[in-house]
Chain A
Amino acid sequence: MSGEKINTSDLANALADRAAITKKNAEVFVDTLQEVFQQALLNDKLVKISGLGTFRLQWVEPRRSVNVQDGSPIEITGRYKVVFTPETSLKNRVNEPFAHLEATAMPGKPINRPEVEKDVPLQKLASQAVEIQSILSTINDPELSEEPVKEPVVEVELEPEVVKYETLETETSASEHRYTPVATIEESKPMFETISQNASMVSEHKKRKLTWLWVTLLVLLLFGGGFAVYYFYGKWIQESVMTLVEEWQADKEFEEQVELAGPVEEMPKPTTEVQVKEASIFDQPREYKEFIADVRVPNGGRLTLISQKYYGHKDFWVYIYEANKDKFTHPDRITVGTVVRIPKLNPELINSKNPETLVYARKLHDKYVGTK
């Protein structure tokens, strides 16, 4: 391809050769053609030349725009533009070099499939987190732990730790365990790595690492909350811990044992209680001693709205009600101007992502609203 610029006189010369006429005649012909063509285009708005295509005048409506320099509005006037539609024969001739290429259906999956796959791991991760949360809470719950949740991924290899748990339970001091969960989980990582290597899935490995992180965080959180509860309900919890321990021994195939038993193993009683407390988070009598805010009920205010504001979900209004029972005759009856104290709650209790908290809150709802 040369890419030269051919002007009208070049064309006239070439025409003279091609049509065997004089150059002068050729020039006259091209000039006349130009004149006729332009006139026809303006008058008829359309000129067809066979072998070439169609030239058309198309009206462009006036439109508003802005001056690029100073942003002042200007109006672009309506005008004609020339549109050229080439004939198929010309198209084909021009496309000669690539004529052998044909549109081909691409093999395999549709092209947008990879995007879909990109999203899936995220979803998996999120659902895994939720899953693990609920598994954790069911396992932590001494009553529910009788039905073991089995996960194929992690094997029974941590059994010994479970046993240790029992013996060490009474020995270690409270100050140590903040750090122990991290340590044990790191220990279990290499094990986990070998498992995933067997599966030879690197991406899954990464995902699991993240879930481990999650679990670590959760366990740490539970410890913190558990301490507080221990001081109030120490005795009761000790008893329940013992039963829990027995149950744990019974079903050793738990995946979660790895996480739970690990941290617990080097812990004194207080921490184990944490777990139990967490487990039976709903069974614990709630005491409202810390308050995060006082709210004067506005006109049209409702406990559900206040709950939505402070706890992120309207169903948790029952806890506000519990903390302010003395101010109500009935939860539905609320006087404008009443000052309601918003209790500080265990974040797990008002975790709206955990379906169980919602179920429990609704149970309370039925209890309070149903009975006058």
Chain B
Amino acid sequence: MNNKELQAELSKKLGITQKDTAAYLNAFVEEINVRLTEGNQVAFLGVGVLEVRKRESRVFVNPATQQSILVPQRLTPAFRVTSTFKDKLKNYPQS
């Protein structure tokens, strides 16, 4: 399901216009973005937790040229699934 389909489904369920739905959804996503950028752990829709992890700087060697490259540290968004949703998935058959 892509973003558009999600909006359509939401507006149908909520009985509001797609335009409004899109506005709310964008606000919601923006809020998560901001909180995440601040370094917080953000609970996400009962499925898991979005968080920021730090990747330390490291030295990468190009195997072809043997050239060493220093890859700097960086922050990256990550997602951790909650155990409740994991349990839910456990019983979900392959399809």
Question: A residues engaging B (CB < 8 A)?
Answer: 1-8, 11, 14-15, 18-19, 21, 26, 28-30, 32-38, 40-44, 46-53, 55, 57, 59, 77-84, 86, 90-91, 93-98, 101-106, 110-112
Contacts and interface: CB of A to CB of B under 8 A. Distances in A.
Contacts of B6: 36-37, 40, 47-49
A182 B74 CA distance: 62
A25 B57 CA distance: 44
Contact of B3 (A15, A18, A48, A90): A48
B47 A95 contact: no
Contact of B1 (A44, A53, A98): A44
Nearest to B23: A19
A51 B33 contact: yes
Contact of B68 (A41, A47, A110): A110
B68 A36 contact: no
Contacts, number: 186
A18 B74 contact: no
Given A36-B6, A51-B30, 18 more contacts: A8-B43, A11-B28, A26-B24, A29-B24, A38-B47, A38-B85, A42-B92, A43-B1, A51-B33, A52-B33, A79-B89, A80-B92, A84-B78, A90-B33, A94-B37, A96-B75, A106-B59, A110-B66
B79 A15 contact: no
Contacts of B38: 1-2, 4
A11 B32 contact: yes
B42 A15 contact: no
Contact of B74 (A30, A90, A101): A101
Contact of B71 (A11, A33, A103): A103
Interface string B24-43: 11111111110111111111
Given A84-B78, A106-B69, A79 B10 contact: no
Interface residues of B, number: 59
Contacts of A46: 1
B33 A19 contact: no
A34 B92 CA distance: 18
A333 B25 CA distance: 95
B29 to A, nearest CB: 4
A8 B46 contact: yes
Nearest to B71: A103
Contacts of B77: 53, 84, 86, 90-91, 94
Contacts of A2: 38-40
13 contacts: A3-B40, A3-B41, A6-B40, A8-B46, A19-B23, A30-B28, A33-B28, A44-B1, A55-B47, A82-B47, A82-B79, A84-B79, A103-B69
A94 B47 contact: no
Contacts of A80: 89, 92, 94
Interface of B: 1-3, 5-6, 9-10, 13-14, 23-33, 35-43, 45-48, 50, 52, 57, 59-61, 66-79, 81, 85, 89-90, 92, 94
A38 B46 CA distance: 8
A171 to B, nearest CB: 63
A46 B2 CA distance: 8
B67 A15 contact: no
Given A47-B1, A94-B52, A14 B31 contact: yes
Contacts of A112: 61, 66
A111 B59 contact: yes
Contacts of B68: 105-106, 110-111
Contacts of A35: 13
Nearest to B60: A103
A189 B61 CA distance: 44
A105 B56 CA distance: 17
Contacts of B2: 48
Contacts of A48: 1-3, 6
A57 B95 CA distance: 11
Given A29-B28, A104-B70, A110 B61 contact: yes
A90 B75 CA distance: 11
